[in-house]
Amino acid sequence: MSPRWAVPSIRLRLTAWYTVVLCLMLVLYGTATFVTVRHEFLEQLDDDLYEDFETAEGLITRTPEGGLAWASNRHHDPDDEKDRGIDVWSASGEPLYRSSASATLPAPALSAASTQPHYESVLAHGHHWRTLTRTATVGGLAGVLRVARSEDRLRTQLWEILIVLILGLPAVAALAGVGGYVLARRALKPIDQIAEDARRITADRLHERLSVPNQRDEVGRLAAVINETFARLEASFDQLRRFTADASHELRTPLSVIRGIGEVGLGETRSPAEYKEAMGSMLEEVDRLTNLVDTLLRLSRGDAGTVRLSRESVDLRQLTQEVVDSLAILAEERNQRLTVDGSDRAVVPADRLVLREAITNILDNAIKYSPPESTIDLCVRMEGEQAILEIADQGPGVAPEHRERIFDRFFRLDQGRSRDNGGTGLGLAIAKWAVEVHGGHITVEDSKGGSLFRIRLPLTEPADTRKYQAHSNQPAGGHS
């Protein structure tokens, strides 16, 4: 069911926002421009009025009859000007001189007249005037002199400017909208290409990648991150396929053995002792199958982050010695010698049972694959803020190309070797998980005629390992 109101595309939203913001900027710019121009026009008009005032103060003279007149022989006659006016008033409010243009103006407020210029706008008979009023001595008489200029032409110019700004805004906004849409479409075109490429990538085509035209811009970095995600998904799918195939194979083997034993037992009548032996063999396979399922369940809980760790202060050397004591009987059967070295008291915050299982699995592997009468050396030491446990055996070693995959589930260097020894191929996977859940790291490298497993654990609890919670803290069995 589609929504009632369709959400516009990013392209349209960008265009709308761009247009709205530009319109607001144009309105602010136009308003500031209009106010500035109006202020400049008024200042220029006030300057002209001041010049008129000084001119009138010097050119109005006394007549023989005692009145005031303009000395026209020295300047233009104000009676011929329709846009400018001059008038003189006595202190009692009687007009002493008025030009033809100023005759339409109301009398000035004589009480407000002073030695300082007084500017104001006056509306008279439908015309706007700008006046300057000030006390002055004209023709030897003290009074109030007022000069005026028409504002009609100035207001007409300002109105024309305002019309241009108002009519120009929609045109500019329309052009900006079209330009913004084109720019947004061009800028978002790589995203459309990414969406088209991503739509073709399915679970069967995870090897394909998005095209990255420019890795340095935002779209290029987005495509690179998506490609990295696809790479991780491809690796996870491949690992899941291998895991499914290996798990199916591991489960099929004991089931086939159980079925074979059952079919042989039902094929003909046998003695009670033979039936008992057959059931014993079936129980061994069931135990192996149960051990495999329990280990897989433990790993799945670890992957989901639902294993709760019961952390405590664990002396790594003491824990290593406990593991050596528990596996000493296996080494004695092969005439092998186990040595524990290291005087450092490396105390790490860890779940004792989980960490013990990791050490047990690695040491069990070393015992199984080292030749008889060989020596397995274990060393505990500290390096900076880390505790290090090294287990060096004299076995066949691990080829460089297998050192990363050796910790994968069901991975075996020899496909028949671990199964013959009763392992499931999950011991090292459990060990890697147990170390990493404590914020540590496990590696393998060549040693003197064998392999060297190195476990690094932080001496303090890392913050990113505190996410494991709920369910179980009991270690699952299963060694490779």
The more confident residue out of 397 and 466 is: 397
- The closest alpha carbon to 309, from 466, 165, 117, 144, belongs to 466
121 with 222, same domain: the answer is no
Confidence of residue 224 (pLDDT cuts 50, 70, 90): confident
| Percent of the chain clearing pLDDT 90 (strictly above) | 11
Inform me whether the pLDDT recorded for 2 exceeds 50. no
The more confident residue out of 73 and 405 is: 405
265 with 386, same domain: the answer is no
**In the prediction, which pLDDT does 246 show?**
60
Residue 2 lies in a domain: no
Average per-residue pLDDT for the chain: 79
Q: φ and ψ at 25, to 5 degrees?
A: -65, -40
212 with 320, same domain: the answer is no
The domain that holds 122 is classified in CATH as: 3.30.450
Rounded mean pLDDT of 208-231? 79
Residue 429 lies in a domain: yes
**In the prediction, which pLDDT does 341 show?**
87
What does the alpha-carbon distance between residue 480 and residue 475 come to, in Å, rounded to a whole number? 15
311 with 457, same domain: the answer is yes
The domain that holds 343 is classified in CATH as: 3.30.565.10
Provide the greatest CA pair distance for the chain. 165
The domain that holds 244 is classified in CATH as: 1.10.287
**In the prediction, which pLDDT does 183 show?**
83
Confidence of residue 401 (pLDDT cuts 50, 70, 90): low
314 with 460, same domain: the answer is yes
Which of 304, 325, 350 is where one domain is finished? 304
121 with 101, same domain: the answer is yes
Residue 474 lies in a domain: no
User: Among 183-187, 201-205, 322-326, 383-387, where is mean pLDDT lowest?
Assistant: 201-205
Residue 169 lies in a domain: no
Residue 6 lies in a domain: no
Rounded mean pLDDT of 11-39? 88
Q: How many domains does the chain have?
A: 3
State the pTM of this model.
0.48
Q: Which residue has the tokens 């000395």?
A: 71
281 with 314, same domain: the answer is no
Q: φ and ψ at 421, to 5 degrees?
A: -90, 5
CA end-to-end span of the chain: 54
**In the prediction, which pLDDT does 157 show?**
92
**What domain range includes position 208?**
202-304
pLDDT per residue as tens digits for the range 36-85: 999 999 999 999 999 988 888 888 888 887 778 877 655 566 666 788 88
Which of 104, 126, 158 is where one domain is finished? 158
Residue 436 lies in a domain: yes
**In the prediction, which pLDDT does 155 show?**
92
pLDDT per residue as tens digits for the range 83-136: 888 899 888 888 888 888 888 888 888 877 778 888 888 888 888 999 999 988
**In the prediction, which pLDDT does 243 show?**
64
285 with 337, same domain: the answer is no
Inform me whether the pLDDT recorded for 34 exceeds 90. yes
User: Among 44-53, 230-239, 438-447, 449-458, where is mean pLDDT lowest?
Assistant: 230-239
Residue 480 lies in a domain: no
269 with 377, same domain: the answer is no
Which of 278, 304, 330 is where one domain is finished? 304
38 with 145, same domain: the answer is yes
151 with 291, same domain: the answer is no
Inform me whether the pLDDT recorded for 465 exceeds 60. no
Residue 392 lies in a domain: yes
315 with 432, same domain: the answer is yes
What does the alpha-carbon distance between residue 397 and residue 410 come to, in Å, rounded to a whole number? 18
